[in-house]
Structure 1
Amino acid sequence: MKYSQIFNKLLGCKNDDEVFDYLVGNLKETIKSWDYFVNWQKVLKNYKSVKVSLNLLNTLIGEADIEKAARELLAQYPDVIKIVPALLACRDKNICLLTDMRKFDLTRFDFSKPMSPADGAMFMKESGFLDLLSDRTIKSIPDYFIGVEVGLDSNGRKNRSGTSMENLAEFFIKDICQRNGYEYIAQATADKIYKQWGKKITVNKSSKRIDFAINTPHKLYLIETNFYGGGGSKLKSTAGEYADIYHQWTNDGHQFIWITDGYGWQKTQRPLRDTFDTTDYILNIDMVQKGVLEYLLQ
């Protein structure tokens, strides 16, 4: 790393080893906030877009001959079939199923457009969905749909953790830039950076997005952020990747800063230390809070 007296002044670290010990010794357990659990805006948007169809399907609840009732409903309202995959917690619109093991027959169901009432009713019957309506296990399809959407949205929590780290970093970066007269771009690309500031950066893919690019009077700073609550091989590969990025952007004449945090690094210190030793600056949230990032940008 590139040691600076600011590490001693702000953190009490007198050498590289002490800075690294501070880095791994002051990691945050979590950065989850209230919006981590469910993206209610997305759930309710999806619900409102199919509300009419859900209420039409609701009329099937408790029907004695429910398959016949389903065929009649689909004959009158063919677009209702489009929401069936979502009711089975499936985002796919084109579904291919093995319907006969002996003959290995495959049947394709395209829910992006209306299908025959017989096929639609058969799909709902064979998938088990109609049984839940017939015996009133499901008492409200709109309520049930919201529950399914909440469950599907839980898959987005990993992405929300990444976004939370970016939001947290931007909270500090925006404040630093406003007070010092710097410009910054969130989710920057090489094209955006060149168009706004006339500076070129080397990237392996033109579509690569950099979490933050900060333009100061003396240098362009490129910042990547991430948070790892748990360990795994991903951390090792990430550390190696950022070491390569550092050399690439240093050769371009720019400064790379990596802001990372999370207890995941406690059990994966070796690759982090390797990257720490071969790059200039790796910071955690605590270091940013204490003013290290602002000093490095000056």
Structure 2
Amino acid sequence: MPIRQRCPPTEEFVDTFQDTIVPSSIPSSRFIDWDGIEDEIENYERQIEAILDLEGVSESEFVEGLADALMNADDTRKWIDFYFEVLGERGNKYSALEGVWKFYDIQRSIDAGDRESARSLADILQEIGLQYIVDEADIRDHFRGMLVGMESHARKNRQGECFEELVGEQIANIANRLVDAGYNVQMDAEYTTAYNDESGQKKTVDFALFEDDELRLVVEANAYKVGGSKPSEIRRSYNHVAKRMRNDDVAFVWITDGQGWAKSLTNVLRQSYDDITDLYNLHQAETELPDDVERFFETKEV
């Protein structure tokens, strides 16, 4: 049975959940990681100074200068990454109509002393427009702007990190409340536990609460800024996990939020509540979950 003390009808739960959704877990102060950006600029200071020496030179001198820098680099891949990040490209390769440049293979060739590989890469960098940027822009300001643009990708990970921090605060508050009530409770994050059966399978959960060193409750935390198939896949997975945890007398709680749960995911939200029941958004985790968990610790009923 669920630990929820109040289990409203599905439609009532869905309406309440969606009415109290937090659109994003990222606060405005962390929308852009300015400290991280400045650290990355500082990390590439040597590369910046070297490329500034090529300002105003001819095309051939620029290409040869890049090739020289690559041949003399103590960390070839770092120099390659810098050049392409200045051009707004990040990854393991560059592809265009003319072909594919795989950075690992290029790095290996350059490190083996193949100047032709270095010059070939320098040629493509010049053709893409690296020389234009060096000649026409303040390289540090330009690089800073490129890093800000790349933040849209970084925010995908930051969304989850910020949400887990918020949920961690909620679970820590619940643990402290239980301790104040006289329970010997400990909290752990990223805890891995084996199922109490013959499968030999294990599960790593975002947060776990123990009583007298015995696992009593686990929490998974996920935020969704956009819809898609992922929440539905997670629902099926967590439904399976919840059943196995309850078989081991361990309560399973799913805390999730984000504007992805708005109207486009209403059906998935219905199914999630019907299957798991111990489902909360951040607002519900703050207003309902503490009482639900304390009652669970009192009754030991799962």
**TM-score under structure 1 normalisation?**
0.77
1:1-298 aligned within 5 A: 2=2, 6-7=5-6, 18-63=12-57, 65-72=58-65, 74-75=67-68, 78-79=72-73, 81-82=79-80, 83-92=82-91, 95=94, 99=98, 110-111=106-107, 113=110, 116=115, 118-133=119-134, 136-138=135-137, 140-181=138-179, 182-190=185-193, 206=202, 209-217=204-212, 220-267=216-263, 268-297=265-294, 298=297
Query: Is the 2:226–2:259 contact (alpha carbons within 8 Å) kept by the matching residues of 1?
Result: yes
Q: Deviations over 1:140-160 (max 9, x none)?
A: 222222222222232011111
Q: CA deviation at 1:254?
A: 1.0
Q: Deviations over 1:125-177 (max 9, x none)?
A: 222222333xx322x22222222222223201111111121111111111221
Distance 1:257 1:107 in 2: 47
Q: CA deviation at 1:29?
A: 2.8
Q: CA deviation at 1:224?
A: 0.8
Residue type of the partner of 2:131?
Answer: L
Q: CA deviation at 1:295?
A: 3.3
Distance 2:150 2:130 in 1: 18
SS in 1 for 2:249: coil
Aligned Cα RMSD in Å?
Answer: 3.3
Q: Deviations over 1:165-213 (max 9, x none)?
A: 11111111112212323211112223xxx7xxxx85899975x531111
Distance 2:175 2:126 in 1: 59
Q: CA deviation at 1:17?
A: 5.5
Distance 2:273 2:153 in 1: 32
Q: Deviations over 1:82-113 (max 9, x none)?
A: 332222233345557664xxxxx766661465
Count matched residues. Answer: 275
Distance 1:142 1:153 in 2: 17
Distance 2:123 2:201 in 1: 47
Query: Is the 1:202–1:248 contact (alpha carbons within 8 Å) kept by the matching residues of 2?
Result: no
Distance 2:198 2:271 in 1: 23
SS in 1 for 2:279: strand
SS in 1 for 2:187: strand
Alignment-derived partner of residue 102 in structure 1 = none
Moved more, 159-168 or 16-25: 16-25
SS in 2 for 1:235: helix
Q: Deviations over 1:214-259 (max 9, x none)?
A: 1135751111112223322322222222212211211222110111
**Sequence identity (%):** 23
Moved more, 49-58 or 286-295: 286-295
Change (3 A) 1:176 1:68: same
Distance 2:62 2:275 in 1: 69
Distance 1:24 1:42 in 2: 34
SS in 2 for 1:276: helix
Moved more, 78-87 or 166-175: 78-87
Moved more, 19-28 or 257-266: 19-28
SS in 1 for 2:64: helix
Query: Is the 1:229–1:262 contact (alpha carbons within 8 Å) kept by the matching residues of 2?
Result: yes
SS in 1 for 2:24: coil
Residue type of the partner of 2:247?
Answer: N
Distance 1:238 1:223 in 2: 14
Q: CA deviation at 1:281?
A: 0.9
SS in 2 for 1:211: strand
Q: CA deviation at 1:294?
A: 4.5
Distance 2:43 2:27 in 1: 28
Query: Is the 1:67–1:121 contact (alpha carbons within 8 Å) kept by the matching residues of 2?
Result: no
Residue type of the partner of 1:137?
Answer: E
Larger RCO: Structure 1 or Structure 2 (Cα < 8 Å, ≥ 6 residues apart)? Answer: 2
Structure 1, unaligned stretches of length 5 or more?
8-12, 100-104
SS in 2 for 1:209: strand
SS in 1 for 2:262: helix
